[in-house]
Amino acid sequence: MTNGSFATVVDSFRGTLSSLPDKRTGKNSRYAMLDAGLSAFSVFFTQTPSFLAHQRKMSDTKGRSNAQTLFGVHQIPSDNHIRDLLDGISPTVLYPVFDDIFQVLQATEQLSSFRSFADTLLMPLDGTEYFSSTKIHCAHCSTRVLKSGETHYFHSVVTPVIACPGRSEVIPLVPEFVVPQDGHDKQDCENAAAKRWFAQYGPRYRDLRITVLGDDLYCRQPLCERLLTEQFNFILSCLPKSHKTLYEHLEGIALPSVIKKQWTGKTLKTYTYRYLNQVPLRDGDDALLVNWCELVITNAKGKILYQNAFATNHLITDDNVEALVTAGRTRWKVENEHNNTLKTKGYNLEHNFGHGQNQLAAFLATLNILALLFHTLLALTDTKYRLLRAHLSTRKTFFNDLRALTRYVCFDNWDHLLTFMLEGLELKVPTDTS
């Protein structure tokens, strides 16, 4: 979009889409699939459902449009044509773009700034639904039966990210969709999808020293063993109701404790950390031994404000238990800064942009996640973009301005657009946009 690394990634994105075959003819269509993919992506990136309609009108009156100059679309296809072309394409064809962006963040040292506990990268993951209906469905839908007896169809996906305590950005990684699996009688689930993700992508990330974060659903021996096999660390929520053997093991033991006080300006909070190393995760002689810790926050009257516990493979000590719990609590960022951002901050992940009969819903969801990743890349690496986002008070203001400008003005490229916005706000235009 602007100079340097971001333009390189966009070129890779275009190359990926342009190599896709036109499924209707069985032949390579030089521009049809490229235009369909880039057109769909432009809607998510600009957070403008009517972006393509505006650009068609602009093309009619001006002879060119922002779909062409900003996104490289040759001819804007109709919405139905886009859905028809993309329905037969697996979202996995887009996954190399995630890798390209990850490599850019590594090369620009941005990834290093996300390191935290034990000098590891924290990787929270969580499952989220992005489509549901009692009428519309496809072969890739999951199902649940409602109390009324009606079948509820839905799509869900596991979304791993890289996060860091104290940082608002997260780096989305390749998603793993929860879909019916060939040869399996049981319906696919979030935990099984997570195990598939680490089996397939673990070798790619294992050398980066990663600590996986997740809720109690993931704190099961098969997944923990998979993580250790792939050389990942873990800090996973560990609740008494689902880990009876572990908590029975803790009974009657004088647990090592660390107590800290914090004055908020209004009330005094007490942070009580307890821990024990080498406790069984489940019953049985083959039980995996994990390290357990708990945080209880109380106010001056002793009322519990927060309580949670974690299982980890990291050795716990008096010196690191506070930092370890802070890392474990960072798992919320995958929900707040990623899934909820996609659902409530303009990306409209849960909106049915097109369900299709094959893989359209998953393909469009992947484009939506990529749109968030592209904005994250800009926020981390592009000087002009960072300056604009810092000056404009909210995300909503930035996208409102982006929508208005691209509706009425055709820009030569993204650098032209960002410079125009900076000059309009009377901000000094940086000469270095790396």
* Count of beta carbons in the 10 Å neighbourhood of residue 50: 11
Q: What is the pLDDT of residue 253?
A: 93
Residues 16 and 78 in one domain: yes
Q: What share of the chain is helix, strand, coil (3-state, %, to 5)?
A: 45, 20, 35
Number of structural domains found in the chain: 2
- At residue 27, the pLDDT reads 47
pLDDT number for residue 22: 58
pLDDT value of residue 307: 97
**For the whole model, what pTM was predicted?**
0.93
Residue 34 counted as domain residue? yes
Closest CA to 189 of 198, 197, 180: 180
19 and 64 share one domain: yes
Token representation of residue 84: 């028809």
Domain assignment present for 367: yes
Range of the domain at 245: 235-320
Give 113-148 as a DSSP string.
Answer: GG--GGG-EEEE--EEEEEEESS---TT-EEEE-TT
Dist CA 48 CA 42 (whole Å)? 8
Q: 106-128 burial, b if ≥16 CB within 10 A, otherwise e? A: eebebbeebebbeebbbbbbbbb
Question: What pLDDT score was predicted for residue 30?
Answer: 58
Task: With respect to residue 116, please indicate whether it lies within any of the assigned structural domains.
Answer: no
Amino acid at 155: H
| 178 within some domain | no
CA distance 418 to 399: 12
| Per-residue confidence (pLDDT) for residue 28, from 0 to 100 | 46
The answer to whether residues 372 and 418 belong to one domain is: yes
Per-residue pLDDT, 29? 56
Whether 219 is covered by a domain: the verdict is no
Taking the alpha carbons at both ends of the chain, their separation in whole angstroms is 12
The pLDDT of residue 338: 96
- In the predicted model, residues of the chain with pLDDT beneath 70 are 1-6, 21-30, 182-185, 432-434
